[in-house]
Amino acid sequence: MSTVAAPRTRDEFLEGLWKQNPVFVMVLGMCPTLAVTVSAVNAISMGLATTFVLVASCGLVSSMRRLVPREVRIATYIVIIATFVTAVDYAIQALSLALYDALGAFIQLIVVNCIILGRAEAHASRNPPVTAMVNAAGMGAGFTLGLVLLGAVREILGAGTLFGIALFGAGFQPWVVMLLPPGGFFVLGGWLLAFSWWARRRERREPASHA
Amino acid sequence: MNESPPAPSAPAPASTRDLVLTLGVVAAVCGLVIVGAYQLSLDAVTANRRAALERSVFTVIPAATSLAEFVALPGGGVAPATPGEVPPGALRFFAAYDAAGNLAGIAAEGVAKGYADSVRVLFGYQPGCQCITGLGVVSHRETPGIGDRIVTDKAFLANFRALDARLNAELSALASEIRTVKHGTKKNAWQIDAISGATITSRAVGKAVNDSAQALLPRLAPELEKVRKKP
């Protein structure tokens, strides 16, 4: 676990992005996933904000892993995570108020995102900083990927645009329900189906190719 | 949880002093980081808020190029707004000025309960014609495609080109209450023609404008000279 060779690093990254994708495989962090993915821009911003918090807090948790007594580790992790979330919150307010209003309370709620505390406790607290941060970056990328896949589909179907650019002519009647909460569940269900189908197909093929 | 660490992290329970010390140090350092982030971003955030406010006021009063913030005090009288909290009972409004420094219009916010949540609007008022000449939606959570047409529907926004907001003879209230009426039944200049299919949201806009105008305009009318010129 503690040797950091190049293929090992790549595996750590790919684990979060694909094999252990937080949205489609572990089905974690569903609250922001369903709530902010009404547009691709919102989804990507939320994903990047979460990734930053994830990488920064995992790096810090990992470098402090021998200094923090076990009894207070969860409290320490939460304080560290909350600090980075607050910094991100101010940064987004400084960058764009429109984005800040669109993401609403979900920026602050990154604090209680189970992906982050889960990574800090399950991975960062028992691995060296570089491994922990690579793993966290993979998880963050996986979360961002999940959000963007959801946000893009919902925006295309629900508003006829992608990243705010109109895709269809004026005759397009938007499928508004996709922007409403039920649409989040429909699209999430569709992607979960697609992912498990891919995973199964790979499972069936892999033994054949190795033999 | 069941960590079997190769690292020499102490399996024996840590002393209370260590626990307090760890949490204390972590909390103090994190506190400092937060203060630093706040200080670093404060200027940009304030500038952003100001720009957003100016943008929305200039949308409802197109002739304006600058603005000043005032409060209408509950006992009568108008005073420049001080940064921070508005005094209890006072109403906040914005006086917008054109390039020559003359009053181009008054803008004020109103809020009412819509279909999903509060609908916040900002309207522009012209003391000359005593009418409302512009409407902007500050925030809303109405249904996309239905209630959110209050932001884009041209026919609906046309209601606010010259919406009658004259005061009665005693200057105590509007001469006729601003009301949202069913789509297609607008007869008078103080009525708002609702969007067909989005009546609840349209009514919320009408109520927000009416409540705010009823409260603010009687206080403002006798004090109008104070805001005529750019301070």
What backbone phi and psi angles, to 5 degrees, belong to B163? -85, 120
One domain for residues B78 and B20: no
In a domain, B155, yes or no: yes
Show the beta-strand stretches assigned E in A75-198: 161-162, 165-166
Reduced DSSP (H G I as helix, E B as strand, rest coil) percent helix, strand, coil of chain A, to 5: 75, 0, 20
**Shortest CA distance to B108 belongs to which of B219, B229, B228, B203?**
B219
Chain A residue with minimal CA distance to B26?
Answer: A76
Half-sphere exposure of B197 (CA within 13 A, CB side): 8
One domain for residues B175 and B73: yes
One domain for residues B132 and B218: yes
In a domain, B134, yes or no: yes
In a domain, B7, yes or no: no
Look at residue B10 in the predicted model and tell me its pLDDT: 47
Q: How large is the average pLDDT for residues A106-135? A: 91
One domain for residues B126 and B40: no
B165 is in which domain, residue-wise?
Answer: 61-228
Look at residue B1 in the predicted model and tell me its pLDDT: 44
Q: How many domains does chain A have?
A: 1
Identify the domain boundary among B59, B79, B96: B59
In a domain, B167, yes or no: yes
**Shortest CA distance to A128 belongs to which of A46, A41, A200, A66?**
A66
Write the pLDDT tens digit of every residue in A143-194: 999 999 999 999 999 888 888 888 887 778 888 888 888 999 999 999 999 9
Distance of alpha carbon A184 from alpha carbon A192, whole angstroms: 12
One domain for residues B104 and B66: yes
Look at residue B162 in the predicted model and tell me its pLDDT: 85
- Answer whether B188 touches A (CB < 8 Å): no
pLDDT digits (tens), chain B, 231 positions: 444 444 455 457 788 999 999 999 999 999 999 999 999 999 999 899 888 888 889 988 988 888 888 888 887 778 888 777 777 788 889 999 988 888 889 999 999 998 888 999 999 998 888 899 999 998 888 888 788 888 888 889 888 888 888 888 888 888 888 889 888 888 888 889 999 888 899 999 999 999 999 888 888 888 888 888 777
Chain A residues within an 8 Å CB radius of B7: 65-66, 126
Distance of alpha carbon B175 from alpha carbon B122, whole angstroms: 21
Q: What is the DSSP string of A40-106?
A: HHHHHHHHHHHHHHHHHHHHHHHHTTTTS-GGGHHHHHHHHHHHHHHHHHHHHHHH-HHHHHHHGGG
Tally: H helices and E strands in chain B: 5, 9
In a domain, A211, yes or no: no
What is the length of chain A?
211
In a domain, A1, yes or no: no
Structure token digits, residue A160: 């006829």
Structure token digits, residue B132: 């409302």
One domain for residues B210 and B114: yes
How far is residue B213 CA from its own chain's centroid?
14
One domain for residues B132 and B169: yes
Write the pLDDT tens digit of every residue in A58-112: 999 999 998 888 889 999 999 999 999 999 999 999 998 888 888 878 898 999 8
One domain for residues B173 and B82: yes
Distance of alpha carbon A138 from alpha carbon A23, whole angstroms: 12
Chain A residue with minimal CA distance to B44?
Answer: A94
User: Tell me, what DSSP letter sits at residue B141?
Assistant: -
Nearest Cα of chain B lies from the Cα of A14 at a distance, in angstroms, of: 24
- Answer whether A25 touches B (CB < 8 Å): no
One domain for residues B76 and B43: no
Phi/psi zone of residue B181: left (φ > 0), alpha (ψ -120 to 50 degrees), beta?
Answer: beta
Q: Which of A37, A57, A61, A97 to mutate to test the interface with B (most CBs of B within 10 A)?
A: A97
In a domain, B157, yes or no: yes
Q: How many domains does chain B have?
A: 2
Chain B residues within an 8 Å CB radius of A75: 23
> Least CB-CB distance to A94: which of B9, B26, B45?
B45
Question: pTM value?
Answer: 0.79
Phi/psi zone of residue A27: left (φ > 0), alpha (ψ -120 to 50 degrees), beta?
Answer: left
Do B8 and A66 make contact, defined as CB atoms within 8 angstroms? yes
Write the pLDDT tens digit of every residue in B142-198: 888 788 888 888 889 888 888 888 888 888 888 888 889 888 888 888 889 999 888
A121 is in which domain, residue-wise?
Answer: 6-206
Look at residue A208 in the predicted model and tell me its pLDDT: 58
Q: Which of A61, A126, A173 to mutate to test the interface with B (most CBs of B within 10 A)?
A: A126
Do B26 and A174 make contact, defined as CB atoms within 8 angstroms? no
Chain A residues within an 8 Å CB radius of B45: 90, 93-94
> Least CB-CB distance to A93: which of B6, B9, B45?
B45
ipTM of the complex: 0.78
One domain for residues B108 and B123: yes
